[in-house]
């Protein structure tokens, strides 16, 4: 079986993977409890990253490792982590 190295954004997208981010400011526990005490709906700390737009902005050959922090869409903080999701459609094996 052939090994596939997913080291660039274009390869991730080509093989059906996605990305999401987590904001440490939005997920900070005191912020959550402040929202609960004020009877507001707590903000989610997780956000989706639209991979085609990221490829258009950074380039398809941009490496996945060492990717600059993506700002949180809710609070604009750069204290974020990015993660790669599993493929959306199973790969066909020969």
pLDDT in tens, 17-30: 999 999 988 888 78
Note the pLDDT of residue 9: 92
Does residue 93 form part of some domain? Answer: no
Give the pLDDT confidence of 21-64 residue by residue, as tens digits.
999 888 887 877 888 888 887 777 899 999 999 999 999 999 99
Does residue 3 form part of some domain? Answer: no
Question: pTM here?
Answer: 0.74
Does residue 92 form part of some domain? Answer: no
Least Cα distance to 49 among 26, 75, 71, 24 occurs for 71
Domain count, the chain: 1
Does residue 58 form part of some domain? Answer: yes
Q: Print the domain residue range for 29.
A: 9-84
CA angle 85, 51, 42 (to 5 degrees): 65
Task: With cut-offs at 50, 70 and 90, classify the pLDDT of residue 81.
Answer: very high
Least Cα distance to 82 among 31, 23, 27 occurs for 23
Note the pLDDT of residue 94: 52
Counted residue by residue, the chain has a size of 94
């Amino acid at each position: 079986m052939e090994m596939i190295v997913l080291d660039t954004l274009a390869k991730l997208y080509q093989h059906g993977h996605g990305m999401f981010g987590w904001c440490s400011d939005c997920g900070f526990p005191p912020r959550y409890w402040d929202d609960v005490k004020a009877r507001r709906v707590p903000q989610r700390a997780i956000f989706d990253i639209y991979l085609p737009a990221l490829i258009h902005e950074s380039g398809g050959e941009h490496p996945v490792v060492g990717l600059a922090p993506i700002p949180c869409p809710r609070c604009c903080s750069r204290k974020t982590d990015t993660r790669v999701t599993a493929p959306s459609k199973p790969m066909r094996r020969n």
